[in-house]
Structure formats: structure tokens, C-alpha cells
Amino acid sequence: MREENFLGTSPIQSWYLIASSRELRKNQILGAQLGRHKVVLFRNEHGIAGATDAYCPHLGADLSDGCITQGKIRCAFHHWTFRVDGKCETGERNATSYPVMEKHGAIWLFNGPSPLFGIPEMDQMHATILKPRVIRAHPHLLTPNGLDIEHFSSVHGIHFSKQPVFKTEPFGIAVDMEIDLNASKSFRMARLFAGNQIRAKFYTLGGHISVIRANAGAVPLHVMFTHRPQPDGTSISRTLLFFPEKMKAPSTLYRFLSGLFLYFIVRDDVRLLEKVQFRSENLKTGEGLALFRDQINQMETMA
């Protein structure tokens, strides 16, 4: 029988944002935690990024203490060297390597033999990556927060024009929403440019990525949330804001709208989720959070 993965300690196979592309320079090594498991990222002299287990397959030395030599990561202990694909050129054992992708100005790692799904596309949009934030909650509580449609009215004062409907997608759960701006006090000022409602789609991908695609009139508001689990049960979370490519720099209006949107959506949620003692057994069949939990429990964990 498969072990329950929801709120588990072994990360499910998914894409994880490890760092912004600027945070990993050529010939640099960066260690990162995925739950209790540690990995290392490094760039060779050609700028290609790779990722392997952090501990050398020889005697287990931490490769983040090593260095880059001729485009390969070299263990500080016995100088075994590994290419970005994990192949060892000086010893008998290869390091376990992981798929790496650079997208939206960030470096992503998939903690399995090969990616099961892609990173969400944002056509004709460019990303601004916010600084990392430690949140004292498990990623599986943070990622599906937008699926908990009941809390929109009780916490945020947001009301819908019609009842949202959930849809199970490959490796994710989605919900389409129509926010009634006349009934939603916190967002009434948005009527100046959005009319009477905002259409939005919230969806999860894997267990650690969630996306909001909204349009306030002609203004697109696209946000991606990512959460990386830590050994102590907390999350390192990073948010990506997306703006039209034709804007060389986000305008004051876009910054204001995105900041206001995130402020009202995230502020109170984080405060509450950091203190919650979650009771998964009380979820009702068909609810967004129940769908997310059941999907997570069917996913493969880290190899």
C-alpha cells in the first residue's frame, strides 16, 4: 500500500524552484534542501546548470564543500569529479543526477528520473521573482490554498458571481472563479478598471506550484507561487509576478495592482496557515482540498 504523501516528509516528484538564474554564477555550487534530502546545483564554464545528490557516492562527503574544475564538480575529500549529468570521471560510481530547467528567470529541479510534467507557460509575459520567504507551514497546505473557496468570503470578503467548479487535471486541480466586485468590499475599487467582475483561474501543479491567472478588465494579473519543503516542516516560498513582454519595465499601475492583489490574498492566509493543525480527515468528498490531498497521495515520491 502506498504511504500517505499528503503532509509527508518525502517530497513528491515535482518541479522545485531552487534559485533565480542570477543566483547561480558560472563555476559556482549551490546546496539546497528538499525536505530531508539535500541536492547541489552547479554551473560549468559554458553556463550549463546541473544538479546531483549533495553527498558523494564514494564516502558521502558533502559536494557543496567542493569546487568546480574544468566544468565539473569536484569532491573536496578525495577529488572525485562529476559532470553536470552526474557521470563520474575519476571514480567507480556516478552521482544521482536530476533534470534541471531554466525558465522564467529561475532554476528548477525535478526530483525524479525524468519530468512527469512541464513548468507552466506564460506566453508573452516576463517574470519578476520576489525574494525567498520562510513560511512556517508545509508546502501541501500552502499550494492548494486557492482551492479552499469557502475561506474567500470568511477571510478575504470575496464573493463569487456563481459557484466555482473544480476540475481534476493531470498532476493538478483547477478551479475557475468569477469574483463579484459589487459584493466584494475589499476589491470594490477594482471596478474602476475591471467592471463588475474579475475572472480568474487558480490551479495547482504537482504539490509545490500554484498559479493564478486573472484578468481585471484589460489588465492581466498572473502570479505563480512555489514552495520548497525544509527538514523542519517549513517552506521556502518564492513568488513570481508576470507582466506583458512589451513592457520593458512593469508600470506603476501594474506594480500597484499586483502588490494590492498579493497583499489581500496572501497576508491573512499565511498568518492563519502558520498556526493551523490540519485535520485532513474532516475534508468533504469533492472539495478542492480533498481532491488535492487524494491526488498527492497517488503521486510518486522522491526517487
Tell me if 119 is assigned to some domain.
Answer: no
Tell me if 9 is assigned to some domain.
Answer: no
CA distance 165 to 38: 38
Residue 15 pLDDT class (50, 70, 90 cuts): very high
- Predicted local distance difference test score (pLDDT) of residue 163: 93
Tell me if 146 is assigned to some domain.
Answer: yes
Lowest mean pLDDT among 1-10, 103-112, 141-150: 1-10
Query: Is residue 145 domain-shared with residue 283, that is, in the same domain?
Result: yes
Query: Is residue 153 domain-shared with residue 30, that is, in the same domain?
Result: no
Listed residues 85, 110, 135: the one ending a domain: 110
Are the beta carbons of 127 and 236 closer than 8 angstroms? no
Other residues' Cβ atoms within 10 Å of the Cβ of residue 27: 15
Give the E-state strand segments of the chain in sequence order.
Answer: 15-20, 29-34, 37-43, 49-53, 67-69, 72-74, 81-82, 97-98, 100-103, 106-110, 125-129, 133-135, 165-169, 172-180, 197-205, 209-216, 219-229, 235-244
Task: Give the highest mean pLDDT range of 179-183, 186-190, 262-266.
Answer: 179-183
Lowest mean pLDDT among 33-37, 174-178, 193-197, 240-244: 193-197
- Predicted local distance difference test score (pLDDT) of residue 156: 84
- Predicted local distance difference test score (pLDDT) of residue 210: 97
Average pLDDT over every residue of 191-209:
83
Tell me if 60 is assigned to some domain.
Answer: yes
How many structural domains comprise the chain?
Answer: 2
Whole-Å CA distances, 115 to 9, 74, 110, 300, 302: 21, 26, 6, 12, 12
Q: Name the residue type at position 109.
A: L
Query: Is residue 209 domain-shared with residue 96, that is, in the same domain?
Result: no
The grid cell for 285 is 468528498
For residue 180, the cross-strand partners are 197
- Predicted local distance difference test score (pLDDT) of residue 140: 96
Domain containing 101 — which CATH number?
Answer: 2.102.10.10
In the chain, the N- to C-terminal Cα span, in Å, equals 17
Tell me if 4 is assigned to some domain.
Answer: no
Query: Is residue 178 domain-shared with residue 85, that is, in the same domain?
Result: no
The grid cell for 292 is 488535492
Tell me if 134 is assigned to some domain.
Answer: yes
pLDDT tens for 133-170 read 999 999 999 999 999 999 998 988 888 999 999 999 99
CA distance 41 to 100: 9
Domain containing 177 — which CATH number?
Answer: 3.90.380.10
Query: Is residue 81 domain-shared with residue 139, that is, in the same domain?
Result: no
Q: Is residue 189 pLDDT above 80, yes or no?
A: no
Query: Is residue 134 domain-shared with residue 104, that is, in the same domain?
Result: no
Query: Is residue 180 domain-shared with residue 93, that is, in the same domain?
Result: no
Domain of 133 in residue numbering reads as 125-296
Average pLDDT over every residue of 114-124:
94
Query: Is residue 64 domain-shared with residue 185, that is, in the same domain?
Result: no
Are the beta carbons of 140 and 209 closer than 8 angstroms? no
Question: Considering the chain, what percentage of its residues have pLDDT values greater than 90?
Answer: 68
Q: Is residue 2 pLDDT above 50, yes or no?
A: no
Lowest mean pLDDT among 69-78, 144-153, 187-196, 229-238: 187-196
Query: Is residue 267 domain-shared with residue 186, that is, in the same domain?
Result: yes
Tell me if 303 is assigned to some domain.
Answer: no
**What is the distance, to the nearest Å, from the Cα of residue 264 to the centroid of all Cα atoms in its chain?**
20
Q: Is residue 1 pLDDT above 50, yes or no?
A: no
Question: Considering the chain, what percentage of its residues have pLDDT values greater than 70?
Answer: 88
Whole-Å CA distances, 68 to 24, 72, 107, 198: 13, 5, 18, 50
Listed residues 79, 110, 141: the one ending a domain: 110
Q: Is residue 195 pLDDT above 80, yes or no?
A: no
The grid cell for 167 is 476540475
Query: Is residue 292 domain-shared with residue 218, that is, in the same domain?
Result: yes
Query: Is residue 81 domain-shared with residue 145, that is, in the same domain?
Result: no
Per DSSP, the three-state class of 75 is: coil
Residue 4 pLDDT class (50, 70, 90 cuts): confident
Tell me if 216 is assigned to some domain.
Answer: yes
Q: Is residue 94 pLDDT above 70, yes or no?
A: yes
- Predicted local distance difference test score (pLDDT) of residue 247: 67
The grid cell for 302 is 522522491
Residue 192 pLDDT class (50, 70, 90 cuts): low
Listed residues 77, 110, 143: the one ending a domain: 110
Query: Is residue 103 domain-shared with residue 148, that is, in the same domain?
Result: no
Q: How many CA atoms lie within 13 A of 253 on its CB side?
A: 10
